[in-house]
Amino acid sequence: MDQEEQENRRQYIRFGLHLPLYAELSLLRVGDRTARSRSQKVLLDNISFGGCLFRTHLELPPRDDVEWMLKMQLNHHEVHLKATIVRVQEEEGYFLYGVSWKLSTYERHLFHYRLNEYLQSAYAFAPHIQTLYRKVMERGGDKQFKRLDYTT
């Protein structure tokens, strides 16, 4: 299949972070047991409405029954996001973790609002990215973003 014909199979678009965004990662739950831990700083590489990719020196298990808390600052708002690790890879001495958010409907709605605010302010210096972002957000509901030509 030609690369131009391939369709993006992701449910949510990832937004690369050009400004460093750190989160405090802590263990929240293992199975049915609450298991609090001290937090560790991790660096986010990208973020989406469905999850994020972060890097750290910590070696963590990608398990469905282990729930983590990521606490981060989006503009003037501190957000707390529950997540599970869905994939891991090693790169240049770091572990890269792909996580999926585990949010209630209310938490998801609030996070979408805060992330929209953050992305719009983070890309304020680049009007062409703002325009593309608005197009992506308009197409998100009907899944048309999977065919959006982002090269122009």
Q: What are the chain's domains?
A: 11-146 (2.40.10.220)
Residue 132, token pair as written in the block = 């593309």
Residue length of the chain: 152
CA distance 83 to 52: 9
Q: Assess contact for 32 and 49: CB atoms under 8 A.
A: no
| pLDDT tens series, the chain, 152 aa | 444 444 555 677 788 887 789 999 999 999 999 988 899 999 999 999 999 999 999 999 899 999 999 999 999 999 999 999 999 999 989 999 999 999 999 999 999 999 988 888 877 666 666 676 667 666 655 555 555 444 43
- Say if pTM beats, i.e. exceeds, 0.85: no
Tell me which residue of 51, 44, 142 sits closest to 100, measured CA to CA.
51
